[in-house]
Structure 1
């Protein structure tokens, strides 16, 4: 632990016999409890030991010990111990003196550390020539005075030699000295100074905190001023550098220009001035000539700009003329459509009057429930959702099924051209009497095999070859007649009706293939939306899938499909639907209402498409139509048709291979003519569907 020693020693002043007390601070390592002992300087030096803690020991040789104790404790931040260790007893020390002086010391010691004054090393205390300090009578007033008895310092002190025998005697007999010794003037001045310093200082805790805040604030202000000083110094350096740079540039410019200006020959400058004036006169003359000759000439830049503007206006005029021609053409088409609409209205009105005149009461279909095999339950199942025409077909199927089972043989139809190839046989053919379920399973197998092969041969030939592979050449004809009679009878069945239309050439095979592809694509889209792979979709997801798969369907068509799939007005968008159940078939090959509604909408859309084509052509069914007119009408009603699809439609309508179709604009196009009714029937057999949305008709 660091300890500080403060000593006041005596030094001789020159040979004049005078002495001076100086204050010295030293450091040493001493335990806090080490005692203060009297040493060799027991008579002249005054020593203060600071032990880094609360204790300080003092040893004195004179009566000024208490005053030095007050001074050192106040100015050197020294605290005093409670006891002083062996030395000559003094009436002014806490150990040997009266308790009258101990109390003020202890009260002062608690306040002295807050003063923070570090001036003791800077003070010089002049000591009188006397080797001993005279005693003081008493303290004055309430001020602390270490002098036992106070006597004014103005008392004249006699000069004595410090080391004389008289001095030693006085020092050896200090106990017998009276207490009325005069206090030295320097001690009075020291006490007055210390008293003023203590009065100026606030020895309380609040003042110490305030001083700390002031120190912190001053440090902060000092840092700010230092930063401002650094900034100003850097700015000054930059300004000095810029000033020097400008001065150097000015000197360089003056050095570069001086020889050219002042070193030029005056005669040379005069000649140059004369030649310049001549050039000016000649240039002025040429300028006047140019103004006279080309005053009315337009600049090339302005001419090119006007020419470009004229060209743009001409192009706009041509475009407006073309638009006007198109509008006139559309106007003529609308007039023609209006005339056709009037004709259809008159025709429908005539048909309505005829129907009203010849109409008969609607039949009571409930009478059939007692006649059909299976009773009312089976009849209710057969008649569900069917109109009168379909109910007639159901009755014919029920009657024909019984008659068909009673036949054992069929008569061959012969080898005429009108007979389908798979039925060309002359003679009697055995009736294999298959059940309806057997026929449906056989047709399904034929469809699967047809979809896997390359479809090079015609469908009737494929069907007969399939029967030969399945039943052998001997029984193939018998099975062909048996299956044909069943599918002809049960045409209301979905699979049988489609197969019969294909065998008889009433529909193209591509129609059913495209329908199968559409159903497969729709199922794939639903599976992709089903991220959890649970087989369930919400009604909102089903609507989204239908709109993305059929972008050209109107909202009411989407709503019909939703209702066929199980949606009803009380359903919410969060209701779940098993989408796999929308594509299943029963044992008889009948699809669920959802797939049936898809097929019905396809047929309705095809009929509407062909009806628009007929209206666009503006011809009667018995009129003839050329290939260019059909091409033009198709492009008008469906502008999104690509060239390949358009050629396939024309090839189907005119029964020409695609490779032999004439290009647009060729002369031989006008030579290809066909009846409108025939063309529409052929298109009805093929897979015809709209490729883009219907364009809005122009306003009248």
Structure 2
């Protein structure tokens, strides 16, 4: 009877899930006795329901309305024939209600769910039990689909068992997580309590210290008042003792006078005086009167001479005051003399400034009269690809000369991309070896980034192995190895035209200078080694490997790495690295970012400032050398004079370095240079300008500190 069911009914029945199959459920997977008991119960329920639900011993064929219809082979439920059959069924006079078997199954499911009281939070396994039973009834009744439905049920049961096992395995972890969470909360609370206690203790200590400070301040104020009072008492006692000393001297003088008078009276009242000779007494009286007259005259003279004399104490005080005033007068005279000299210098400076102002004003008027107006660089936005936004990015921080180079590069780049071929330069002696070719050469039209990456690869290969061949020959061999012999000349012309055009790119301009012989390779190599050594020194100081240094450490490393640089140059490097005058020595600096490069190979301002200082130092060194020679550029210099000038300019040069410089200036091998003091030195001459240009090519620099100039 199940095999005669329509396809739609079978499919809808198979899409439901119910228990009761021969597969072991999750609950009785490990319990065989529970399995057999449950199967007996389901069998009894199935027999009861089959007897109750079925009518006339078979299932209702709803919605086919016919009991004997079977599914046609090779027909789909959505096909036209099937729809016609469905239309014909709908025309049958049977009712359209649900089959009794379906209604009774739904009623049974509803009752079971009500018994489980779905309104409460019941177990999910119990809620699935009625569905299992209904699905088991379908499996048992539909014999044809029993294997398929059983496999579906088994797959779901196995998955449920697997998920249940995973949940059981995670239960201890959940409990452990709860325990750890509680422990962490207890630790946090304990730490907070401890911190709160420490804060309270520190607050109490702070209050005690504040009270102690107030107490000390009060003691200090009281001691100051006592010192002031004691000083006042000391001054009063000093005046009192001075007065007592003067009074004592006066009393001593009065006592002496009284003693002398008493002696005179005693002599006058003595009994032997009345017995003297009157003539003798007359002579004595006459002599006494003469002495009295002389003494009176002397007293008058003394009064006349010393009548205005002040006491010694006042004299000493006045003398001390006079010395202080004299010292102040001398100091003021010295200050006045210094100010007078400064005033004279300022007057002279003012006069010279007025002359310079008048000169500059006249030059300004002349420049305004003859100069052209400044160009409006915003007009270039219509010429440059990318419009105003790209032009602003290119023009940021550049002067007029640099803007002209940028504009020429942009225009030249457009013209360069329009060319499909380059005319070859031939095989002349003045043509570099890597450009010697006749005919037309294809323009490979690489991007600027591709050219830069190619040049970087060439430098890596050049520095990786010690190459003895010249740099132009190496460059052409590199292109042959990279692109093959057939395309090497095309790439050589393409790269040459690009690096000749893009002078603002560091990588291209440096490679062009070395390739064309304007610089030697040692200039580029030594600069890279200097930067690598500087980065290594900073990394050694960074013991924590955090990539950070303090400004004090940064300054110390720069001074140790470049001992010959002036303080102004060190400060310029620090400012280029991110230091500001308002920054403190404890501020941190990300030193690794100073040595990074962008996509086009442009270095950071710190590395650019290093290169700029190196070129300025080289120019200053050659300028000092020319000054030491005391010659004009059109004059000639011999070998001995140039050697002596090099040693005088930089006394730290060793013999090997001097010979290297001399070999470059006179274009002679070091082995062919005559020894110092040889007569042949005077016969080897070269133009001074030529010698300086040749020395400009190599890595020439000062080896020792500049000797101080003699004081004028």
- Return the structure number with greater helix share: 2
Q: For CA contacts below 8 A with separation 6 or more, give which structure has more relative contact order.
A: 2
Q: TM-score, normalised by structure 2?
A: 0.48
- Return the structure number with greater strand share: 1
